[in-house]
Amino acid sequence: MATTTNFGWETPDDTDLVKDGALAIRTLGSAIDTSLVDLKGGTTGQVLAKASNTDMDFTWSSVDPLTILDAKGDLITATAADTPARLAVGTNGQVLTADSTTSTGLKWASSSSPTYSWATFTPSIQNFTLGNGTLYARYVQIDKLVVGYLTVTFGSTTSVSGNMFWSLPVTTATASSFVSMSGVVDGSGGVTLLTGAIYSTTGALMRAVKTDGTYATGATTSSTIPVTWTTGNTFTFQFAYEAV
């Protein structure tokens, strides 16, 4: 009796009688049925795996995600529901990043540190005329933290006429917070203290520091307070606050 090359299933010989054909077909079918019996069964999500080294010896089993790991740093991910997948470790310094264009939706990518740059701004200052003086103001925003400073150097036509209010570079989250303690430096090196506070979501005010009482208090600035302003005077304010 002839047999198939790979599995040894019996098939009719070329010289067999036609009357024996039905028997030969049943014999072949029975052999195939027996060989493929392990393919029966299984449930949703299971996979067919070899049960031993014997030909056609299979078993249905649930996927063990751990079996897909084969190197240090491998991660178990998924390409779809109930479909585990291996993501090989990236290179030193890389970070895991979401990427919908990859099969797993993840990838290793080079880390990009955020960069923050200082920017200049030109505040409007009420009750103040810059004239031929100089104003230099800069700030940087780190998430919601805004940090900056402004410096004014008086020229011969710079003047103060009252309480000075200046605009902020970024809208604040609150309209009441301390800005900084700063000072006026006169031409001879003397220093007079100033203080400041945010008075609205877009502006801050300057106050002279009075020390003639039990406690230091703030006084309205003017052409003569806290000093008689003159060419070469300089004042600087530093600020830090939470933006909206």
CATH code, 153? 2.60.40
Q: In this structure, are residues 227 and 158 in contact, taking their beta carbons and an 8 Å threshold?
A: no
Residue 42 has a pLDDT of: 82
Tell me whether residue 144 is in a domain.
yes
Asked if residue 230 and residue 194 are part of one domain, the reply reads yes
Q: In this structure, are residues 122 and 135 in contact, taking their beta carbons and an 8 Å threshold?
A: yes
For the segment 20-55, what is each residue's pLDDT rounded down to a tens digit? 777 878 887 888 888 888 888 888 777 788 888 888
Mean pLDDT computed over 226-230: 90
Range among 52-66, 124-138, 225-239 rated most confident: 124-138
Asked if residue 88 and residue 35 are part of one domain, the reply reads no
Asked if residue 179 and residue 234 are part of one domain, the reply reads yes
Tell me whether residue 146 is in a domain.
yes
- State how far the Cα of 222 lies from the Cα of 22, in Å rounded to an integer: 118
Nearest to 156 by CA among 99, 233, 46: 233
Residue 160 has a pLDDT of: 95
Tell me whether residue 94 is in a domain.
yes
Q: Is 38 helix (H, G, I), strand (E, B) or coil?
A: helix
Asked if residue 206 and residue 104 are part of one domain, the reply reads no
For the segment 121-152, what is each residue's pLDDT rounded down to a tens digit? 999 999 999 999 999 999 999 999 999 999 99
226: preceding bond cis by omega (within 30 degrees): yes
Tell me whether residue 103 is in a domain.
yes
Tell me whether residue 78 is in a domain.
yes
Residue 178 has a pLDDT of: 62
Mean pLDDT computed over 169-197: 78
pLDDT over 70, % of the chain? 93
Number of domain units in the chain: 3
Residue 19 has a pLDDT of: 66
Q: With a cut of 90, say whether residue 153 has pLDDT above it.
A: yes
pTM above 0.85, yes or no: no
Query: Encoding tokens for residue 187?
Result: 């031409």
Asked if residue 203 and residue 148 are part of one domain, the reply reads yes
Identify the domain containing residue 18 by its residue range: 2-42
Asked if residue 193 and residue 136 are part of one domain, the reply reads yes
Asked if residue 232 and residue 123 are part of one domain, the reply reads yes
